[in-house]
Every structure is written in structure tokens, then in C-alpha cells.
Amino acid sequence: MSSSEAAAIAAELRIAMGKLTRRVKHEDRIPLGQAAVLGALDRNGPMTTSDLAADQRVRPQSMARSVGLLMEQNLVTRRAHPTDGRKSLVELADAGRAALEAERSRRAGWLAQAIEAELTDEERALLAQSAALLERLAAHQ
């Protein structure tokens, strides 16, 4: 395969994945930025607001607003940092974990329905193989 063929496949794949990602996110009930914060806390455990801002590539002031909104909804809690009294840690509350799981279930449910409705058995098998290939591509340095 030539470089130009690989580039063409890459462009088509990027467009298709973008459309699929936007469509799946259409199922969201929690605003995207807030869902991203909940997801980061789920993956990484308790974090400072500054660490969350760096993780999400936003300004600390913007993250402080997001954390405030999540606290108002009782989706996250704040506690003292164990080694630095000037800092506090934001952590996922039980309600936040439940909301995140519901969000993930909605997304996966829509995608499972679409796969069942739109793809043949052969296409489903091909898609299953493609998932492993996409994982390999995502891991490429």
C-alpha cells in the first residue's frame, strides 16, 4: 500500500469516526465538559482542580466553574488534600458515578441498537475485528 493510499484511508477513517463520535454524544444528558470531568475522576481517582484543568486542557478558572456546577448537582465532593493543606481534592460522589454509568449505558445502548439494525452478521464480525485494529492504532506512538 502506498503512502497516498494510507493517507486516503486515514482521512476517511477520521471523518467517519468524527461523525460516529458526534452521533453517540448526541445521546448525552450531561453536558460534554461535565461528563469529561466525571470520566477523568472515574479513571484517575481524586484530583485537584488544577490537575483536572491540566488533564482536560482548560484554564483552572473554567475548571473551577465546572467543578462548582458538579458540586451543586451533588455529582462530586471536595475534601482536604492529605499532604497539602492549601489544596483540596475533587472526587466522584456516588451520584456522579451513577450518572456517569447511566451516560455510558445510553451511549453503548444506542450504538448496540445501531449495530443490530444496520449491519449484517458478516459486517458485525468485521466490525468486531476492526475494534481491535482501532485499539492498536490508538496505542501507536
Q: For the segment 22-34, what is each residue's pLDDT rounded down to a tens digit?
A: 888 888 788 888 9
Q: CA-to-CA distance for 76 and 95, rounded, in angstroms?
A: 8
Q: CA-to-CA distance for 55 and 136, rounded, in angstroms?
A: 23
Q: What is the pTM for the complete model shown?
A: 0.73
Reference 43, options 74, 121, 139, 51; nearest CA is 51
Q: For the segment 59-114, what is each residue's pLDDT rounded down to a tens digit?
A: 999 999 999 999 999 999 999 999 988 999 999 999 999 999 999 999 899 999 99
CA dihedral 62, 63, 66, 71 (to 10 degrees): -140
User: 109: domain range?
Assistant: 3-139
Count of structural domains within the chain: 1
Q: What is the CATH number of the domain that holds 16?
A: 1.10.10.10
